[in-house]
Amino acid sequence: MKSLIRWDPFKAMRAWDPFDEMRTMQRDMDRLFDRFLGSERTGEVGRLGLWMPSIESYAKEGKLFIKVELPGVDPNDLDVSITDRELVIKGERKAEKDETEKDYTYREISYGSFERRFVIPEGVKTDDLKAAFTNGILEISVPIPEVPKAKKIEIKTEEPKKLAAETTAKKAA
């Protein structure tokens, strides 16, 4: 069976990246071992066979935002919870029952459960957390607590008494 190669007309215009070739080699080696061991992974699947959705996080206007890409996931299959300093996002992308029986020629869409954990800043008020699910993107906003500024403490220096007595004795001599 011949492999499909993506045509990129702009490849000649991009700068050469040695890490791109390393990633390609790693992907090819993963496929080789998966075929040899009989476990064909599909899509973005972790080492343990779990599907991991892509995320981005950034700080803006005093808030920490976490965006999770969840196309095809029903919002009712999501669970967002928070413990002491850890935000936990759990969910599942369910496969359609009639689709599993088809004879696929190519399959990249991953199904199954996932769980992502994030450490959040200390002092966050958990009541202020907000989550919204729009167009397959889960966006969570967390207000970043203000960190009190450090107060500078002045250090007083005094000359030791013993050294002061020796200094006056040397001056007299």
Residue 133 is predicted with a pLDDT of 94
pTM confidence score: 0.55
Is residue 164 in a domain?
no
Tokens of 97: 């029952």
What pLDDT, on the 0 to 100 scale, is given for residue 138?
A: 95
**In 10 A of CB 156, how many CB atoms?**
4
* Residue 106: inside a domain: yes
- Name the residue among 7, 8, 5, 3 with its Cα closest to residue 32: 3
Domain membership flag for residue 69: yes
Q: What pLDDT sits at residue 56?
A: 92
Is 34 within the bounds of a domain?
no
DSSP type of residue 123: T
Low-confidence ranges of the chain (pLDDT < 70): 1-16, 36-50, 97-102, 160-173
Residue at 24 is within a domain: no
**Residue 138 belongs to domain spanning:** 42-143
Reported as half-sphere exposure (CB side, CA atoms, 13 A), residue 83 has a value of 6
Residue 130 lies in a domain: yes
Number of domains forming the structure of the chain: 1
pLDDT (tens digit, 9 = 90+) per residue, 146-169? 777 888 888 888 776 665 556 666
127: domain CATH number is 2.60.40.790
In a domain, 55, yes or no: yes
CA 149 to chain centre: 28
pLDDT given at position 15: 63
Task: Give a yes or no: residue 112 inside a domain.
Answer: yes
pLDDT value of residue 143: 87
Within 10 A of 5 (CB to CB), how many other CB atoms are there?
A: 6
List Cα–Cα distances, 71 to 36, 61, 115, 143, in angstroms. Answer: 31, 27, 15, 26
In DSSP terms, 89 is beta-bridged to 80, 116
